[in-house]
């Protein structure tokens, strides 16, 4: 991933952006901004690999593993990925995503990681792989 100025960008084929209803700072009653005067809502689009999405979802799921990941609604999966993007930099998620699939070889967490990948494939099906991972 590189940072390019607007003049240096070149068109590449990207999947369509996934819409969201979540607005950090205003969507939940517990959000920091709560009753404060919101001056702007800024939209950020981040191109993410499947492994980055899975790493982001995994970070957001910490402490919530009493839930059945295979039963989470698509909207909730996307909400949790977006929450991770609010808390982590895309650079950190790129780094974490680079080795995330290695966890599939760790028997102690492999089934959990497979369920997280299945969740990502449901929530972001555009380029989901055809094999079972």
The residue-averaged pLDDT of 74-88 equals: 92
pLDDT for residue 43 is more than 70: yes
**84-114 pLDDT per residue, tens:** 988 898 899 999 999 999 999 999 999 999 9
How does 25-39 read in b/e, with b if 16+ C-beta sit within 10 Å? Answer: eeeeeeeeeeeeeee
Write down the pLDDT at residue 23: 74
Alpha-carbon gap, residue 109 to 26, rounded angstroms: 34
Write down the pLDDT at residue 26: 63
């Amino acid at each position: 991933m590189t940072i390019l100025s607007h003049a240096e960008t070149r068109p590449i084929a990207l999947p369509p952006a996934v819409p969201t209803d979540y607005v950090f700072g205003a969507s939940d009653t517990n959000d920091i901004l709560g009753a404060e005067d919101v001056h702007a809502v800024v939209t950020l689009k981040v191109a993410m690999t499947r492994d980055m999405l899975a790493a982001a979802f995994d970070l957001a799921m910490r402490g919530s593993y009493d839930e059945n990941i295979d039963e989470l609604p698509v909207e909730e999966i996307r909400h949790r990925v977006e929450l991770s993007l609010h808390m982590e930099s895309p650079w950190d998620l790129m780094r974490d995503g680079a080795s995330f699939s290695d966890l599939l070889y760790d028997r102690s967490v492999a089934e959990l990681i497979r369920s997280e990948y299945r969740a990502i494939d449901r929530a972001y099906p555009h380029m989901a792989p055809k094999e079972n991972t």
